[in-house]
Amino acid sequence: VLSVHSVVSWDFASSIVPGWHGTIFAPYFVAGAIYSGIGMVLTLMIPLRKVLKVEHMITDYHFDNLSKLTLLTGSILFYAYGMEYFVAWYSGSTFEQTTFWRRAFGPNWWAGWTMIICNAFVSQLLWFRKIRTNLTSLFVISIFINLGMWFERYVIVVSSLANDYLPYAWGQLNPTWADWCLLAGSFGWFGLWFTMFYKNFPIVAIQEIKEMIPMPRRKSAEGAH
Protein backbone atom coordinates (compact mmCIF):
# COMPACT_ATOMS: atom_id res chain seq x y z
CA VAL A 1 0.00 0.00 0.00
CA LEU A 2 2.72 2.48 0.98
CA SER A 3 4.92 1.96 -2.07
CA VAL A 4 2.26 1.49 -4.75
CA HIS A 5 -0.01 4.36 -3.78
CA SER A 6 2.88 6.72 -3.09
CA VAL A 7 4.20 6.13 -6.61
CA VAL A 8 0.71 6.50 -8.10
CA SER A 9 0.22 9.76 -6.22
CA TRP A 10 3.52 11.11 -7.53
CA ASP A 11 2.31 10.46 -11.08
CA PHE A 12 -0.22 13.18 -10.34
CA ALA A 13 1.84 15.40 -8.03
CA SER A 14 4.85 15.62 -10.36
CA SER A 15 2.68 17.26 -13.02
CA ILE A 16 1.79 20.96 -13.07
CA VAL A 17 -1.96 20.45 -13.48
CA PRO A 18 -3.91 22.62 -10.98
CA GLY A 19 -5.30 20.42 -8.22
CA TRP A 20 -2.65 17.75 -8.69
CA HIS A 21 0.62 19.56 -7.96
CA GLY A 22 0.71 19.04 -4.19
CA THR A 23 3.08 17.43 -1.69
CA ILE A 24 0.21 16.01 0.36
CA PHE A 25 -0.73 13.51 -2.33
CA ALA A 26 1.40 10.59 -1.06
CA PRO A 27 -0.10 10.31 2.46
CA TYR A 28 -3.46 11.37 1.00
CA PHE A 29 -3.48 8.44 -1.44
CA VAL A 30 -2.15 5.92 1.11
CA ALA A 31 -4.82 6.85 3.66
CA GLY A 32 -7.45 6.76 0.93
CA ALA A 33 -6.34 3.30 -0.19
CA ILE A 34 -6.60 1.88 3.33
CA TYR A 35 -9.91 3.67 3.87
CA SER A 36 -11.51 2.40 0.67
CA GLY A 37 -10.06 -1.07 1.22
CA ILE A 38 -11.64 -1.40 4.65
CA GLY A 39 -14.91 -0.06 3.27
CA MET A 40 -14.96 -2.78 0.62
CA VAL A 41 -13.97 -5.44 3.18
CA LEU A 42 -16.92 -4.43 5.38
CA THR A 43 -19.30 -4.36 2.40
CA LEU A 44 -18.35 -7.93 1.45
CA MET A 45 -17.71 -9.40 4.89
CA ILE A 46 -20.96 -8.44 6.59
CA PRO A 47 -23.30 -10.34 4.22
CA LEU A 48 -20.84 -13.22 3.62
CA ARG A 49 -20.45 -13.70 7.37
CA LYS A 50 -24.15 -14.56 7.50
CA VAL A 51 -24.25 -16.56 4.27
CA LEU A 52 -21.23 -18.73 5.16
CA LYS A 53 -22.24 -19.03 8.84
CA VAL A 54 -18.91 -17.87 10.28
CA GLU A 55 -20.35 -15.62 13.00
CA HIS A 56 -18.30 -17.49 15.62
CA MET A 57 -15.09 -16.65 13.73
CA ILE A 58 -15.80 -13.04 12.71
CA THR A 59 -17.14 -11.34 15.82
CA ASP A 60 -17.99 -7.85 17.06
CA TYR A 61 -14.36 -7.58 18.20
CA HIS A 62 -13.17 -7.65 14.60
CA PHE A 63 -15.80 -5.19 13.41
CA ASP A 64 -14.98 -2.83 16.27
CA ASN A 65 -11.28 -2.79 15.36
CA LEU A 66 -11.99 -2.39 11.64
CA SER A 67 -14.26 0.53 12.49
CA LYS A 68 -11.53 2.20 14.56
CA LEU A 69 -9.10 1.91 11.64
CA THR A 70 -11.78 3.30 9.34
CA LEU A 71 -12.27 6.24 11.70
CA LEU A 72 -8.52 6.91 11.78
CA THR A 73 -8.04 6.90 8.01
CA GLY A 74 -11.28 8.82 7.49
CA SER A 75 -10.02 11.52 9.84
CA ILE A 76 -6.74 11.69 7.89
CA LEU A 77 -8.75 12.23 4.70
CA PHE A 78 -10.80 14.91 6.47
CA TYR A 79 -7.56 16.72 7.30
CA ALA A 80 -6.22 16.23 3.75
CA TYR A 81 -9.35 17.74 2.18
CA GLY A 82 -9.09 20.77 4.43
CA MET A 83 -5.38 21.20 3.72
CA GLU A 84 -5.95 21.05 -0.03
CA TYR A 85 -8.24 24.07 0.16
CA PHE A 86 -5.95 25.87 2.61
CA VAL A 87 -2.85 25.36 0.45
CA ALA A 88 -4.74 26.49 -2.66
CA TRP A 89 -5.73 29.69 -0.84
CA TYR A 90 -2.31 30.25 0.78
CA SER A 91 -0.39 29.65 -2.47
CA GLY A 92 -1.86 32.75 -4.09
CA SER A 93 -2.11 30.85 -7.38
CA THR A 94 -5.22 31.91 -9.26
CA PHE A 95 -5.30 28.60 -11.13
CA GLU A 96 -5.20 26.52 -7.92
CA GLN A 97 -7.79 28.70 -6.22
CA THR A 98 -10.12 28.54 -9.22
CA THR A 99 -9.80 24.75 -9.45
CA PHE A 100 -10.81 24.21 -5.84
CA TRP A 101 -13.51 26.86 -5.98
CA ARG A 102 -15.03 25.02 -8.96
CA ARG A 103 -14.86 21.73 -7.06
CA ALA A 104 -17.13 23.20 -4.40
CA PHE A 105 -19.33 25.55 -6.43
CA GLY A 106 -18.71 24.80 -10.12
CA PRO A 107 -20.42 22.40 -12.54
CA ASN A 108 -19.12 19.37 -10.61
CA TRP A 109 -20.14 20.65 -7.17
CA TRP A 110 -22.38 17.61 -6.63
CA ALA A 111 -19.41 15.25 -7.01
CA GLY A 112 -17.20 17.34 -4.75
CA TRP A 113 -19.72 17.55 -1.93
CA THR A 114 -20.64 13.87 -2.26
CA MET A 115 -16.96 13.04 -1.83
CA ILE A 116 -16.56 15.24 1.24
CA ILE A 117 -19.78 14.16 2.97
CA CYS A 118 -19.29 10.43 2.36
CA ASN A 119 -15.58 10.32 3.21
CA ALA A 120 -15.09 13.02 5.82
CA PHE A 121 -18.37 13.25 7.72
CA VAL A 122 -20.06 9.85 7.54
CA SER A 123 -17.03 8.06 9.04
CA GLN A 124 -17.17 10.34 12.11
CA LEU A 125 -20.24 8.38 13.24
CA LEU A 126 -17.80 5.61 14.18
CA TRP A 127 -16.81 7.50 17.32
CA PHE A 128 -19.80 5.74 18.90
CA ARG A 129 -19.25 2.11 19.89
CA LYS A 130 -22.91 1.21 19.38
CA ILE A 131 -22.51 2.09 15.71
CA ARG A 132 -19.14 0.32 15.45
CA THR A 133 -20.71 -2.95 16.56
CA ASN A 134 -24.05 -2.58 14.76
CA LEU A 135 -23.69 -4.50 11.50
CA THR A 136 -26.58 -2.77 9.74
CA SER A 137 -25.12 0.66 10.48
CA LEU A 138 -21.64 -0.51 9.49
CA PHE A 139 -22.90 -1.89 6.19
CA VAL A 140 -24.64 1.38 5.32
CA ILE A 141 -21.53 3.38 6.26
CA SER A 142 -19.34 1.09 4.14
CA ILE A 143 -21.58 1.73 1.12
CA PHE A 144 -21.17 5.48 1.64
CA ILE A 145 -17.39 5.02 1.92
CA ASN A 146 -17.24 3.12 -1.38
CA LEU A 147 -19.40 5.77 -3.02
CA GLY A 148 -17.30 8.61 -1.62
CA MET A 149 -14.00 7.06 -2.68
CA TRP A 150 -15.29 6.50 -6.21
CA PHE A 151 -16.27 10.17 -6.39
CA GLU A 152 -12.87 11.15 -5.00
CA ARG A 153 -11.22 9.62 -8.08
CA TYR A 154 -13.80 11.30 -10.27
CA VAL A 155 -13.20 14.70 -8.68
CA ILE A 156 -9.40 14.43 -8.80
CA VAL A 157 -9.31 13.49 -12.48
CA VAL A 158 -12.31 15.25 -14.02
CA SER A 159 -12.41 18.57 -12.16
CA SER A 160 -8.68 19.20 -12.58
CA LEU A 161 -8.63 18.42 -16.29
CA ALA A 162 -11.85 20.34 -16.98
CA ASN A 163 -10.15 23.73 -16.47
CA ASP A 164 -6.44 23.70 -17.22
CA TYR A 165 -4.13 26.62 -18.01
CA LEU A 166 -5.35 26.90 -21.62
CA PRO A 167 -8.95 28.14 -22.03
CA TYR A 168 -9.36 26.41 -25.40
CA ALA A 169 -9.03 23.04 -23.63
CA TRP A 170 -11.76 23.76 -21.08
CA GLY A 171 -14.80 21.51 -21.09
CA GLN A 172 -16.94 19.11 -19.10
CA LEU A 173 -17.05 15.33 -19.17
CA ASN A 174 -20.02 13.88 -21.03
CA PRO A 175 -19.95 10.09 -20.53
CA THR A 176 -21.05 7.98 -23.49
CA TRP A 177 -22.71 4.57 -23.44
CA ALA A 178 -19.26 3.01 -23.79
CA ASP A 179 -18.10 4.73 -20.59
CA TRP A 180 -21.11 3.46 -18.67
CA CYS A 181 -20.58 -0.06 -20.05
CA LEU A 182 -16.95 -0.01 -18.92
CA LEU A 183 -18.04 1.09 -15.45
CA ALA A 184 -20.66 -1.65 -15.19
CA GLY A 185 -18.24 -4.20 -16.61
CA SER A 186 -15.59 -3.36 -14.01
CA PHE A 187 -18.06 -4.14 -11.22
CA GLY A 188 -19.10 -7.35 -12.95
CA TRP A 189 -15.49 -8.41 -13.52
CA PHE A 190 -14.62 -7.92 -9.84
CA GLY A 191 -17.78 -9.71 -8.70
CA LEU A 192 -17.07 -12.69 -10.97
CA TRP A 193 -13.53 -13.27 -9.72
CA PHE A 194 -14.40 -12.65 -6.08
CA THR A 195 -17.29 -15.14 -6.26
CA MET A 196 -15.05 -17.74 -7.91
CA PHE A 197 -12.44 -17.21 -5.20
CA TYR A 198 -14.69 -17.69 -2.20
CA LYS A 199 -16.41 -20.66 -3.85
CA ASN A 200 -13.11 -22.51 -4.31
CA PHE A 201 -10.86 -21.31 -1.49
CA PRO A 202 -11.29 -20.90 2.29
CA ILE A 203 -12.73 -17.49 3.07
CA VAL A 204 -10.92 -17.41 6.45
CA ALA A 205 -7.21 -18.26 6.73
CA ILE A 206 -6.63 -21.28 8.98
CA GLN A 207 -3.63 -19.70 10.75
CA GLU A 208 -5.84 -16.85 11.92
CA ILE A 209 -8.35 -19.12 13.65
CA LYS A 210 -6.18 -22.03 14.80
CA GLU A 211 -6.59 -20.98 18.44
CA MET A 212 -10.35 -21.47 18.07
CA ILE A 213 -10.06 -25.03 16.77
CA PRO A 214 -10.18 -27.69 19.53
CA MET A 215 -7.05 -29.84 19.55
CA PRO A 216 -7.58 -33.62 19.23
CA ARG A 217 -6.74 -35.57 22.36
CA ARG A 218 -5.41 -39.10 22.39
CA LYS A 219 -6.96 -41.48 24.86
CA SER A 220 -4.65 -42.67 27.60
CA ALA A 221 -3.80 -46.32 28.03
CA GLU A 222 -5.78 -46.50 31.28
CA GLY A 223 -8.81 -44.94 29.66
CA ALA A 224 -8.71 -47.53 26.88
CA HIS A 225 -9.26 -50.32 29.43
For 81-102, write each residue's pLDDT tens digit: 999 899 888 888 888 888 889 8
Residue ranges per structural domain of the chain: 2-167, 175-215
| pLDDT confidence band for 73 (50 / 70 / 90) | very high
- The stretch 46-73 carries a mean pLDDT of 87
Residue 148: predicted pLDDT: 93
Q: For the segment 200-214, what is each residue's pLDDT rounded down to a tens digit?
A: 887 777 776 666 666
Residue 18 scores a pLDDT above 60: yes
Residue at 202: amino acid letter: P
Q: How far apart are CA 54 and CA 170, in angstroms?
A: 53
Residue 212: predicted pLDDT: 64
Note every long-range contact of 120-124, with CB atoms under 8 Å and residues 24 or more positions apart, other chains counting.
120/74, 120/77, 120/78, 120/81, 121/78, 122/74, 122/148, 123/35, 123/70, 123/71, 123/74, 123/75, 123/78, 124/71, 124/74, 124/75, 124/78
Residue 151: predicted pLDDT: 93
Residue 214: predicted pLDDT: 65
- The stretch 18-22 carries a mean pLDDT of 83
Residue 196 scores a pLDDT above 70: yes
Residue 14: predicted pLDDT: 85
Q: Kindly report the pTM of this predicted structure.
A: 0.82
Q: Which of 153, 146, 149 has its CA nearest to residue 44?
A: 146
